[in-house]
A = this chain, B = another copy of it.
């Protein structure tokens, strides 16, 4: 049997609950979506607890699960995912933190955790503090959007089990403490980095100008969410497949890079409501030509959910359906296509929720179960039953005739 290619399309947060204004239907039930329904009709369907029943997935833990990793075993913190998303190459054993540029007064009290949501100059500040060496550990700092940044420690004997310097509210800056005897060096290095960088930041041209302009200076870095990628074996090694991703959101791009995917920048794929759906479809089809597995994330449904905007969410469903229609129409070969969500973001909740998500898989060895519509209820009567996010990747590999035999 020839191995098939695989396409996983994740509609971020699109899964929902019944909405009164939509005749008590979910946006997926309410919208017109001929391509999604065709996928359901030609394949197997089910519902999926992406992380586990009653667990609200983060975007990070959800995607780890969808790629076949047990998030409880491999997720150590958001730091490495943000760092990879920001384009900092991580090696096994590196420890990464998410950071804020913040403002402290002369008594070491944080007066603004986001340095007035600083809009510009963080690139210059980052360049001033990156590259130093402490105890033989190389320090890399890279700015993100607004007040955000990432800190990566590279060197021997590091361990991510350290407490945050960021107190997560205004008040006294914390000392990072080792949460394991193995993490003593890491805590020491990160504390020293905050001290060294504070001196540099205070004396910087950018901050002197901010003080002159009456703006809070970005005079301290507050690291949090330490994590390491030690346990993540890339998909390429794990399953022997070449992988690529089409995604706009930094965090999702970071996860894709960490698991070994090619993540080209797609013009127009913004990760916002204005994303270019046609460009994403074309990019996915192009990547399918020279990769075994292509992953597509569309963020817009999650944004509409967070905004509580049910009308927008219906429109997002119809836009994604248009994108899917292009993909299915122009597909040159038999590909195992999975359509699902990373979590529900119900418009009545305006946050991620623990509600299971619909899943449809067609092509390759997928059976045909008679489900006729792609939504939270119709899919639940399908032959996939209720599955876990972690099982999606093995299930797709099985239908693509790429699974391994256990035993004889």
* Contact of A54 (CB < 8 Å), options: B62, B349, B397: B397
| Alpha-carbon separation in the docked complex, A51 to B251 (Å) | 34
Q: Is the CB of A369 within 8 A of B377?
A: yes
Q: Is the CB of B17 within 8 A of A55?
A: no
Q: Is the CB of A53 within 8 A of B408?
A: no
Chain B neighbourhood of A387, CB < 8 A? 53, 386
Chain B neighbourhood of A376, CB < 8 A? 367, 383
Q: Is the CB of B59 within 8 A of A406?
A: no
How far is the CB of A373 from the nearest CB of chain B, in Å?
A: 13
Known: A71-B407, A401-B353, A406-B56. A370 touches B377 (CB 8 A): yes
Interface secondary structure of A, over-half rule: loop
A-B pairs, 5 with minimum CB distance: A54-B394, A58-B407, A354-B398, A385-B386, A61-B407
Interface size band for A: 35 or more
A228 proximal to B (CB < 8 A): no
| Alpha-carbon separation in the docked complex, A377 to B371 (Å) | 11
Q: Is the CB of B406 within 8 A of A55?
A: yes
Q: Is the CB of B1 within 8 A of A365?
A: no
Chain B neighbourhood of A102, CB < 8 A? none
| Alpha-carbon separation in the docked complex, A401 to B349 (Å) | 8
Q: 24 A-B Cβ contacts within 8 A? A: A1-B349, A1-B351, A17-B367, A51-B407, A52-B391, A53-B387, A54-B395, A54-B396, A54-B398, A57-B405, A57-B407, A58-B405, A59-B408, A60-B408, A61-B407, A251-B408, A355-B365, A355-B367, A367-B377, A369-B377, A380-B385, A381-B383, A385-B386, A386-B386
